[in-house]
Amino acid sequence: MQHAIPPMMRPMIRMAAFGAGLAGLVALWAFAAQQNLPAILPGPLAVARALLDLVQDAAFWRDALLPSLGRAAAGLGLAKALGAPLGLVGWHLPLVSACLAPARLILMGVPAPVLAILCILWFDGGPITIVLCVCALLLPVFQIAVAEGLSAIDPQLAEMARVFRLPLRRCLRWIIWPALWTALGPALRVAMANALRVSLLTELLSGTPGLGAEVQAAQSWLQTDRLFALVLVILALIGLIEAALSAIAGRRRP
């Protein structure tokens, strides 16, 4: 009966279904929390209180959240700055691409925790380690996305541009960028969420002050309500990033 629903109502109904799913999850959670110790599974109310404490705590923003976000962003930026030119060169010269393939396969094949441990082992363990680890993990993503995006350029339009001597700027804007974005947009979406995940992981493993270290501290002190609150903050961050990116992607689409 999908067809009977007027199009304007569809997003509302979807949202209602989302809300119902969320409510069900919270109810299940509240019920399970009653059967367990707070240190094992705190209830929704306790977590809400811990969350309120957390977001009101200036030190948390200053010493944990912002540094972690900064490292994730720096790693992401570095991966993009290195991966994009490599993708461009590899697309232009298949030999270079073949030459880079082994390194890329290793970087993509090694599980993230192993890569994090190696980075901690080889570098000083401080913030730089986290940036490098994020970069190492995301560099191949950007390399591949740029190469794929460039391959998606419509050769007929590229010829048209040559015949009519289109200036590079207009070529970039109307022929190259739309093709590039088809691969780069989704890659960026995945990469941003992963940048945060990996920097958390590396912080957690290295004990560098930040969100990851907060998670570890909450766990070792059995502050499970705080742990849950942290997880909610992280979920919200990733959700925000994804929403922002899909909004950008939506606006770019014709």
Residues lying near another protein in the complex (CB under 8 A) are found at: 156-157, 159-160, 162-164, 166, 170, 174-175, 178, 254
Phi, psi (5° rounding) for residue 165? 50, 50
CB of 41 to another protein, least distance (A): 51
C-alpha to C-alpha distances, 71 to 51, 75, 193, nearest whole angstrom: 23, 6, 13
The sign of the CA dihedral 67, 70, 75, 76 is: positive
Nearer to another protein (CB atom), residue 14 or residue 170 = 170
46 versus 158: smaller Cβ distance to another protein? 158
In the complex, the smallest distance separating the C-beta of residue 155 from another protein, rounded to whole angstroms, is: 10
Smallest distance from another protein to CB 250, Å: 14
In the complex, what is the shortest distance from the CB of residue 247 to another protein, in angstroms, rounded to a whole number?
18
The residue among 92 and 252 lying less far from another protein, judged by its C-beta, is: 252
Q: Minimum CB separation from another protein for residue 176, in Å? A: 12
Cα–Cα distance, 254 to 250 (Å, whole number): 8
The first and second tokens of residue 234, run together, are 């992280």
Which ranges of 7-126 would DSSP assign to H, the alpha helix? 10-34, 44-56, 58-60, 66-92, 94-109, 112-122
CB nearer another protein, residue 180 or residue 201: 180
Rounded to 5 degrees, what angle do the CA atoms 93, 99, 104 make?
A: 110
For 224-243, b/e burial (b = at least 16 CB within 10 A) is: bbbbbbbebbbeebbeebee
Query: How near is the Cβ of 165 to another protein at its closest, in Å?
Result: 8
| Residue with smaller CB distance to another protein, 69 or 161 | 161
| Whole-angstrom distance, CA of residue 170 vs CA of residue 168 | 6
Give the Cα-Cα-Cα angle 26, 28, 29 (nearest 5 degrees): 60
Nearer to another protein, 181 or 228 (CB): 181
